[in-house]
Structure 1
Amino acid sequence: MASSRKKRAEDDIENKEEMNNVEDDFDEAGSGDELMDQQMEVEFEARMPQDSDFHGIKTLLQQLFLKANVNLSELTNTIISQNYIGNAIKQLNDDDEDDDSENGFDDGDPVFGIMSAINLTERQNDLACVREIISWLSEKCESAGEDGRKIFEVLNNKECHVGLLISERFLNIPIEIAAPSYESLRKDMTKANKKNMNYNFGYYVLISKCYRARVEGGDSLLNNQMFYSNPEDEILNEVSIVSVSFSVAKERDNIVGGSWDDDDDSMEAMRSVMVFTADKYDSIIQTLKTQLAT
């Protein structure tokens, strides 16, 4: 099993160099004030999710769904079970590179990010968590007028398969990881389709963590002042055929790896549901590469 996992990591993750040597100002818990202004050079690598990543992946999903009635344990196990697509982002341990363990990773290492896709159309037949996600999104979009109805129609479209994109990571993980993560997922889905697995989507749905700014000294919100936890989500929003945002302020964010100050009333925690057609996926990758080119 270890050798097959290592081969998968070597064969399927072709963007390793793009994810390596990224400067990150991630402040480790308990590191002390003397490290707060220092930069750490960290190497990340994407590899197939595995059983030992369960708690790390579930924690990342919790920062997205908060108190939503979604079985996150089942969703996490689903992501791990379909580990032939997507990847978990972990820190490369140079000291273990020559070990026979999982491609240089220790099972106790934290998961810094997760990238995957779930077939909402197909898996709602056998997964309660998928039915719960569809129900939750439908309820949140119900009061959003015409845009909400469009999202409801896409989620319940039986003729065209819909993929839920899972793109979660620590706030301090740099955006440079976004393009290779999306590209790697694209290649994985293409390979899966060739093996008669159904990842041939007509639409993609992304649930984005975002924040809206309040007017200084007032309670009203500036609708055009939206800030995305994952900056690339702004690009996805621009190519979306429809998007709906709703507040999760009452559920309070406890975001892994950083958060807005709990005492800062100038920002309201939001979620934005975006839908874009599958033919936009490749152009999104190219846009990410162009805008992030140094």
Structure 2
Amino acid sequence: MVKKRNRDPEVLPEAPEIENDSDDDMDVVNVDFEWFNFKPDIDFHGIKALVRQLLDVDHQLFNMSEVADLILSQPTIGSTVKVDGEDTDAYAFLTILNLHEHREKPVVKDLTKYISEKAKSSPSLAPLSELLSSNAQVGLVLAERLINVPTEIAPPMYTMLIDEIEAAVEDKEPYEFTHYLIISKTYREIASTLDQEDAPRQKKSKATKGSSETFYFHPEDEVLQRHALAAGSYDYTRDEGEGMADSKRAFQDMGIKPQGSMILIEASKFEGAVKAVGEYLGAAQ
């Protein structure tokens, strides 16, 4: 179990040790992941880069510096995960922003407009579009990690977030949400076009179909959406088409087409969803 984090920025949580032994033929690598509160003078560039990665090509639509500054303005809400001490770049982060509380900030206006437009583009996200036009207290959850960071860090990060929100509400801070909205990423596999000129006509026709199955960059999202009021994927505004999928091939035949993803969870169900994530991925010990 991960202990509740003390809200004093100088007091850090107990950091678990995670073994990376995915390949039986490789040596086991023990890595100590440490959890830290946000520090503006240390984390600005690292958080900015991770948010850019999270929003993919659509990060160009927002002022990334303003997003990073807003995240870092909440030192007792959310976490960074690091390996080589507090004065290094984050390998992962998770935080939550109150869209209603910050509604007059230009970057939050841009984010809210973007979320609303994407919600209207998918029937499965219709409840979100209606919610944003009301006075609901929606907490926007932003979470990202480097590609080689193990998924086991996700459950402790979410658990600590719940603890921190509870402490903030006790202190009369604006974190009493009615809903949690998680922005994330999914992808579909798209057939490669690289070698189709030499492929037989019948095989070429079959190969171009690709797959309609949705895959998750963050495995925890598959669990979270089971508890969702609404969930769905959407195409990026700056999407450059399926032709770019080949540029994201990594030792496989199929290309990768990323999409944005949103998961809306009622506040009463969020803790249960986080518990399910821990059971699925295994919380770090």
TM-score, structure 1 normalization: 0.77
**Structure 1 outlier segments of 4+, above 6 Å:** none
Structural RMSD (CA): 2.8
Distance 1:114 1:62 in 2: 12
Partner residue of 1:234 out of 213, 218, 222: 222
Q: Does 1:56 pair with 2:46?
A: yes
Query: How big is each residue's C-alpha offset from its partner over 1:61-102, in whole Å with a ceiling of 9 and x where there is no partner?
Result: 0011234311111111111111111111111x4xxxxxxxxx
Q: Does 1:152 pair with 2:129?
A: yes
Distance 2:222 2:229 in 1: 13
Identity of aligned residues (%): 27
Contact in 1 for aligned 2:230/2:263 (Cα 8 Å): yes
Count of residues in Structure 1 that have an aligned counterpart in Structure 2: 254
Contact in 2 for aligned 1:247/1:268 (Cα 8 Å): no
Query: How big is each residue's C-alpha offset from its partner over 1:237-263, in whole Å with a ceiling of 9 and x where there is no partner?
Result: 11111112123452869xxxxx75399
SS at match of 1:83: coil
Partner of residue 102, structure 1: none
CA gap 1:141/1:6 in 2 versus in 1, 3 angstroms? closer
Partner residue of 1:43 out of 23, 32, 45: 32
Partner residue of 1:117 out of 75, 90, 96: 96
Q: 1:171 offset after TM fit, Å?
A: 1.7
Query: How big is each residue's C-alpha offset from its partner over 1:11-39, in whole Å with a ceiling of 9 and x where there is no partner?
Result: xx54x24xx2112479xxxxxxxxxx655
Q: Does 1:243 pair with 2:231?
A: yes
Alignment of 1:78-97 (within 5 A): 78-91=70-83, 93=84
CA gap 1:265/1:292 in 2 versus in 1, 3 angstroms? closer
CA gap 1:279/1:221 in 2 versus in 1, 3 angstroms? farther
TM-score, structure 2 normalization: 0.79
SS at match of 1:123: coil
Distance 1:262 1:135 in 2: 37
CA gap 1:39/1:204 in 2 versus in 1, 3 angstroms? same
Distance 1:286 1:263 in 2: 34
Contact in 1 for aligned 2:249/2:255 (Cα 8 Å): no
Greater Cα offset, 176-185 or 63-72 = 63-72
Structure 1 unaligned segments of length 5 or more: list them: 27-36, 94-104, 254-258
Partner residue of 1:205 out of 172, 177, 181: 181
Q: 1:141 offset after TM fit, Å?
A: 2.7
